[in-house]
């Protein structure tokens, strides 16, 4: 099932800001998969997949109608997912408490960023979430995984910033007239 996380990660990595509903849906899927997998250990992978798909679809549909609310929610889950995945390895701490604390701290930071800097925050958070999802689901040595994460993060930010610049360029040139 790792390939689903990789596909969702790539979609978020390159189109997270532009297709906000896709970002929220993919983050919902990834978070649903991680949370359901941890909470339902030993259960069928199909049950976990169904829960993850349900979370993703509900998130995508709701984000269309409640975009401002879901900017904060998506920022929270993207920030929480990234920090809880990366911090324990970087800080050499293990345990469920460390996982939940880093998730909460990352979530709060992601939510605050997404409110304060909407488009740049969406670019960075979706690139972080996408790079994390892809790099964590490909079996590599830790140093290679870290390098892959950094390269994907930079690539996602560059691609989405370019898309954003092209979309806002006509607005800026019309405002100058």
Alpha carbon distance 42, 115 (integer Å): 38
Tell me what the pLDDT averaged over the chain comes to: 82
pLDDT above 70 (res 115): yes
Mean pLDDT across 67-93:
78
Q: How much is the pLDDT for 172?
A: 57
Q: How much is the pLDDT for 157?
A: 94
Q: Please say whether the beta carbons of 104 and 80 come within 8 A.
A: yes
Q: How much is the pLDDT for 177?
A: 57
pLDDT above 80 (res 27): no
Q: How much is the pLDDT for 129?
A: 83
Burial of 146 (0-12, 13-18, 19+ CB in 10 A): middle
Mean pLDDT across 134-149:
88
If you average pLDDT over each of 30-34, 76-80, 93-97, which comes out highest?
A: 76-80
For residues 50 and 64, the model is more confident at 50
CA distances from 6 to 13, 66, 105, 131 (A): 10, 27, 25, 9
Q: How much is the pLDDT for 1?
A: 59
pLDDT in tens, 147-159: 999 999 999 999 9
Alpha carbon distance 1, 49 (integer Å): 8
- Residues of the chain above pLDDT 90, percent: 11
């Amino acid at each position: 099932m790792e390939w689903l996380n990789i596909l969702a990660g790539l979609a978020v990595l390159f189109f997270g800001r532009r297709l906000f509903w896709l970002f929220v849906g993919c983050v919902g899927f990834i978070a649903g998969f991680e949370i359901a997998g941890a909470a339902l250990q030993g259960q069928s992978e199909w049950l976990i997949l169904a829960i993850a798909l349900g979370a993703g679809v509900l998130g995508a549909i709701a984000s269309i109608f409640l975009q401002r609310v879901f900017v904060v929610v998506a920022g929270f889950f993207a920030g929480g997912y990234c920090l809880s995945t990366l911090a324990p390895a970087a800080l050499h701490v293990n345990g469920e408490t460390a996982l939940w604390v880093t998730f909460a701290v990352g979530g709060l930071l992601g939510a605050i960023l997404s409110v304060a800097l909407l488009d740049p925050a969406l670019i960075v958070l979706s690139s972080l979430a996408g790079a994390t999802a892809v790099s964590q689901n490909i079996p590599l040595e830790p140093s290679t995984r870290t390098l892959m994460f950094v390269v994907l993060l930079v690539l996602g930010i560059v691609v989405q910033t370019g898309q954003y610049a092209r979309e806002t360029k006509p607005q800026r040139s019309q405002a100058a007239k």
